[in-house]
């Protein structure tokens, strides 16, 4: 079955390289709840399909390509998913040649390509969210080897609505090659405040890495309390002292996330990832507030701390404990 489909796709694409672009006048019509509009400067049909499900909720067109960083967001992040279907249209039927689901961010390009080394069709899409108007999609497409330069255009769509862009026509077969484009805006929610006081943290077999390749320190840490919140801390050579809290704290900003057995913070160009054997907090994505004190490379600490090659890691309990840590740090006024 796969071989037959491949032969069909190759056969159709072989004809598309002899096609030429078409233009149509303006036309609007309504048919069974669907609105269609043919663009003036390119053969574009805007098909306004409402893709709500039976409960009135929007269906998600695209989930593939989820980035690992999405699990460690401190602020909401917006993606634009783009569903693409390459079509052959004849007077009697419309056949889907291939399909893909692309995922990009506002203003960033996404590319689709169909073909082989002898010839191909490539489409480049750049979406822009325009408040209260919808999603503007700038596009260009090119067939190789026939086209020396890509052809360009743009369309404006509402979220989850589709546009059918007719690219080429094959007069011999009385068919057209078109692409159906459907954008869907997806907002990934950030981590949240942990909902209750933290009375215990166990960091068994833990290690802290800077920028994926620099080990700060490793070892097991733990703390238990019945009255005060627990905090973590570490130093990094050339970067200073870092205090990590699990709720809003004086002088600290939400710059990190705990997810499962990983705590990750990003400051400027530096990423620090602290991993343990078991989940650090119960299931969920939880914010971490970070206070960085530059200039501190060494600390004189006793108790729950481990000194490593490029710094140290530690755990403490209570407001007074982290304040004493700062006061006793060399180079801090």
Q: Hey, what long-range contacts does 199-205 have (CB within 8 A, 24 or more apart)?
A: 199/224, 199/225, 199/226, 199/230, 200/224, 200/225, 200/230, 201/230, 201/232, 201/280, 201/281, 201/315, 202/276, 202/278, 203/274, 203/276, 203/280, 203/315, 204/276, 204/277, 204/278, 205/276, 205/277
Q: pTM for the complete prediction?
A: 0.69
Res 45: pLDDT: 53
Q: How far apart are CA 207 and CA 217, in angstroms?
A: 6
The Cα diameter of the chain in Å comes to 84
277's tokens:
């054997």
Contacts 24+ apart (CB under 8 A), 220-224: 221/304, 221/305, 221/306, 221/313, 221/314, 221/315, 222/304, 222/315, 223/304, 223/315, 223/316, 223/317, 224/199, 224/200
pLDDT at 19 (0 to 100):
36
What is the reported pLDDT for 44?
A: 53
- pLDDT for residue 333: 57
> pLDDT by residue for the chain (333 residues), tens digit each?
544 444 444 444 444 433 333 322 222 233 333 333 323 334 555 544 333 333 333 233 333 344 557 888 999 999 999 999 999 999 899 999 999 999 999 999 999 988 887 888 999 999 999 988 899 999 999 988 888 999 999 999 999 999 999 998 877 788 999 999 999 999 999 999 998 888 899 999 999 999 998 999 999 999 988 877 899 999 998 888 999 999 999 899 999 999 999 999 999 889 999 999 999 998 889 999 999 988 876 777 756 888 888 989 999 888 778 888 887 776 665
Cα 165 to Cα 31: distance, rounded to the nearest angstrom: 19
Q: For position 12, what pLDDT does the model report?
A: 46
How much is the pLDDT for 43? 54
44 token code pair: 């574009």
> Please, what's the b/e burial string for 240-278 (b: 16 or more CB within 10 A of its CB; e: otherwise)?
bbbbbbbbebeebebbbbbbebebbbbbeeebbbbbbee
């Amino acid at each position: 079955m796969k071989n037959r489909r491949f032969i069909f796709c190759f056969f159709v694409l072989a004809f598309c390289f002899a096609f030429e672009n078409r233009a149509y006048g303006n036309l609007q019509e309504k048919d069974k709840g669907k609105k269609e509009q043919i663009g003036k400067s390119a053969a574009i049909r805007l098909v306004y399909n409402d893709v709500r499900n039976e409960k009135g909720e929007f269906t998600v067109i695209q989930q593939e390509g989820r980035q690992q960083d999405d699990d460690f967001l401190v602020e909401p992040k917006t993606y634009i998913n783009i569903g693409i279907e390459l079509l052959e249209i004849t007077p009697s039927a419309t056949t889907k040649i291939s399909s893909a689901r692309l995922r990009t961010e506002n203003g960033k390009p996404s590319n689709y390509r169909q073909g082989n080394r002898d010839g191909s069709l490539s489409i480049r899409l750049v979406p822009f969210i325009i408040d209260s108007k919808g999603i503007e999609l700038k596009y260009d497409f090119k067939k190789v080897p026939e086209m020396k330069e890509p052809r360009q255009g743009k369309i404006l769509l509402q979220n989850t609505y589709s546009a059918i862009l007719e690219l080429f026509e094959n007069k011999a077969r009385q068919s057209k090659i078109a692409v159906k484009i459907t954008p869907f805006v997806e907002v990934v929610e950030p981590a949240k405040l942990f909902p209750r006081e933290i009375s215990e943290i166990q960091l068994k077999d833990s290690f802290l890495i800077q920028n994926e390749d620099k080990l700060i320190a490793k070892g097991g840490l733990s703390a238990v309390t019945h009255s005060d919140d627990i905090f973590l801390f570490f130093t990094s050579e050339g970067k200073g002292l870092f205090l990590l809290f699990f709720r809003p704290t004086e002088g600290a900003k939400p710059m990190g996330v705990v997810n499962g057995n990983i705590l990750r913070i990003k400051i400027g160009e530096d990423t620090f990832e602290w991993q343990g054997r078991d989940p650090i907090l119960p299931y969920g994505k939880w914010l971490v507030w970070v206070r960085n004190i530059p200039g501190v490379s060494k600390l004189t600490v006793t108790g729950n701390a481990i000194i490593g090659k490029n710094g140290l890691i530690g755990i403490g309990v209570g407001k007074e404990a982290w304040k004493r840590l700062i006061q006793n740090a060399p180079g801090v006024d």
